[in-house]
Structure 1
Amino acid sequence: MDKTALLIGATGLIGSHLLQILLAEPTYKKIIVFTRKSIQTTHPKLEEHVLDFDRLEDHFRTINIPIDDVFSCLGTTIKKARTKETMRKIDVDYPLKVAKWTKQLGANHFLLVSALNANAQSKIFYSKIKGELEEKVTRIGFQTVSIFRPSLLLGSRTEFRLGEKAGAMMYSLLPFLFIGSLKKYKAIAGETVALAMCKTANNPQKGIFVIPSHKIEERAKR
């Protein structure tokens, strides 16, 4: 197959790994990346678009090529966004706009990195907006929607996140706690999530699939 993929969130922990995996994956002939700043990577298959996400609609008009798979790894923290309004824009509005546009271009599969406790009715803002995005994406009409809900992410980030560092330390000291019903809380490497996303894209089934953290790890090992 000679598929074309679109990736948003290529500078993040999962997205940066996913980009390298997709570039090496022979089933893709082109990887389009939307990014705020250059990822400083060159590759014959890579088509980078540095753009203002607040003007996505203007950029959409410049691209009219078929896209098969859409990978959404875009997200932020309240610390970086500073306001809930900005965080909602990055975590919900931008991915949703991309989803609607790529569906019009014929995309069949939307693969979304969400959150462990995503729930549109949650009183926790982060969980609530992730749940809202999940619900809205599933209504667009893709043949397949794969929603990945990783637990605590392991890996090197450009910014320091105290919660992740503390969680990673706890997991390394007490791994025996994460068994049975607690499996889904087991920490997972960002690279593992990325690998599972690529494998899922290349073995799609029609429908809407929510993949918890321990199942993500199983898919990556297939």
Structure 2
Amino acid sequence: MTHGKTALIAGASGLVGNKLLHELLQGQEYKKVYSLVRSPSGIEHAKLTEVVCNFDKLEDVEEYFSVDDVFCCLGTTIKKAKSKEAMYKVDVEYPLAIAELAKKNNVQHFSIISSMNANANSILWYPKMKGILENKLTAISFRSISIMRPSLLLGERKEFRLGEAIASKIFTAISFLLKESWKSRLAINAETVARAMFYLSQIDKQGVGVYTANEIKNMSSLMDKK
């Protein structure tokens, strides 16, 4: 693994993003971490520089994209966004803008959280949106790109999401009945996803990698063996 690298993360206030930021700051692999935020988070660390920005004008902070690895953990809900158009902006347009600036600045590895059922041809809005995002991202010729397709994310969010809360309780109630391989297919801990994203950014791989929940879980476990 390479030491002394630099990274940029977007979405560090989210469930996975917060866990990933912790990994980036606590590990020895990175000497500097830039976090794109709309407003200061209050997190302080010697390695961390928070870049307060307008995501509609990311070109204004392009100087911070001269890094080795970029991690995109952006995402919202229709309830919070208020409309499909606003949700599409956060889940598709912003990640694409980040990816394009990353490519322009010769970033070596781009990592992003997608969705388990991402499919550009889906009749359902959310998986179709994520599928469109994946197709557009893979058209950008990064040396290495990692697309994470986790199942239901488990963890304590800052914002309450009724649907996820109900699904999480159901999963917890029946998990003892499931085989280990099925548990990850239904739900996965946010920290597990973050650790897998971190792991993938430290190995020498090229091309596009799309990772299922079980693959994410397996890669996360490799972090303990590094």
Alpha-carbon RMSD across the aligned residues, in angstroms, is 1.6
* Segment of structure 1 superposing worse, 170-179 or 89-98: 170-179
Look up the SS of the partner of 2:75 in the other structure. coil
What residue in structure 2 maps to residue 193 of structure 1?
193
Deviation by residue 1:18-55 (Cα, 9 ceiling, x = unmatched): 10110011111111110112121111111111111112
Alignment of 1:11-30 (within 5 A): 11-30=13-32
What residue in structure 1 maps to residue 43 of structure 2?
41
What residue in structure 2 maps to residue 92 of structure 1?
92
Give the share of equivalent positions with the same residue, in percent.
45
Supply the distance in 2 between the matched residues of 1:123 and 1:180 (Cα, whole angstroms): 31
Task: Count how many residue pairs are aligned between Structure 1 and Structure 2.
Answer: 220
Extract unaligned runs of 5+ from structure 1: none
Deviation by residue 1:134-179 (Cα, 9 ceiling, x = unmatched): 1111111101111111111111111111111111112112125544
What residue in structure 2 maps to residue 4 of structure 1?
6
TM-score (norm 2): 0.92
What residue in structure 1 maps to residue 66 of structure 2?
66
Compute the displacement of 1:181 (Å): 7.9
Name the amino acid aligned to 2:24.
Answer: L
What residue in structure 1 maps to residue 117 of structure 2?
117
Look up the SS of the partner of 2:136 in the other structure. helix
Supply the distance in 2 between the matched residues of 1:64 and 1:116 (Cα, whole angstroms): 30
Q: Closer, same or farther in 2 for the Cα pair 1:200/1:175, shift >3 Å? A: same
Verify the 8 A CA contact 1:149 1:210 in the aligned structure 2: yes
Supply the distance in 1 between the matched residues of 2:133 and 2:108 (Cα, whole angstroms): 18
Extract unaligned runs of 5+ from structure 2: none
TM-score (norm 1): 0.94
